[in-house]
Amino acid sequence: MKMMTSNLNLYYGEQQALYDVSLEIPQNCVVALIGPSGCGKSTFLRTLNRMNDLIGGVRIDGRIELDAVNIYAEDTDLVTLRKRVGMVFQRPNPFPLSIYENVIYGCRVHGLKDKKRLDEIVERSLRRAALWDEVKDRLQAPAMGMSGGQQQRLCIARVLAVEPEVLLMDEPCSALDPISTMKIEELVQELKQAYTIVMVTHNMQQAARVSDYTAFFLNGKLIEHDVTDTIFTNP
């Protein structure tokens, strides 16, 4: 899997939010998108699986490629794209369903019905999201009864269940307490073995702790991008 943007510009109506952003996303890394509030981090993240298309008045030029294919091409299948490039949001957003049904939600959308297969996916996804041991005895319990940190790991499991290649995370810890944040950070470190992770964070310490590569945005422009150690040791 190879993902890159070249000369990407994005406009919300008259207002330009991204200017000429070219970035090759390194694989099997955690890539942190940092910069002050309003600099375009979330906007950039959302263009990577075309979430911005849901908003009226958004115009994009430039290219975003996934394995050398332009994801903004006319014939792009958005369901497949969002399966390959999954998104975890700032606030945990489980559906008002059981833990089990939350995990396999995407699989059902994709038409999977075999009970044994679904059971396997639930266990595998919850294990990968470091949640299995905590919930294995209450898979039919409502997801809304879980703690915030558990809900966020459930949302990660839900994305992992459909076997994505890239995981987009928009400030996944900012609604969580410090212990839950630490658990998610540890999880992100483990997941990068198997997935490429692009994570927005306003927290510089978090970027330094968990990311391998850092892209720094300012006023809609990509100002600097390099391996995280270099970014954080340079004056």
What is the contact surface with ligand ADP in residues (CB under 6 A)? 12, 17, 35, 37-43, 55
Residue closer to ligand ADP by CB (options 57, 96) is 57
Q: 61 or 186: whose CB is closer to ligand ADP?
A: 61
Got the DSSP string for 78-130? HHHHHHHEEEE-SS----SSBHHHHHTHHHHHTT---HHHHHHHHHHHHHHTT
**Shortest distance in whole angstroms from residue 219 CB to ligand ADP:** 9
Q: Which residue has the tokens 């809609």?
A: 220
Which of the 8 DSSP states describes residue 134? H
The answer for residues whose C-beta is within 8 angstroms of residue 141's C-beta and 6 or more apart is 98, 99, 135
Residue 89 C-beta: closest distance to ligand ADP, Å: 10
φ, ψ for residue 224, nearest 5 deg: -155, 145
Reported as type and span, the H/E element at residue 197 is strand 196-200
Q: Closest CB to ligand ADP among 40 and 86?
A: 40
Q: In the bound complex, what is the minimum distance in angstroms from residue 10's beta carbon to ligand ADP?
A: 8
Nearer to ligand ADP, 39 or 131 (CB): 39
CB of 220 to ligand ADP, least distance (A): 7
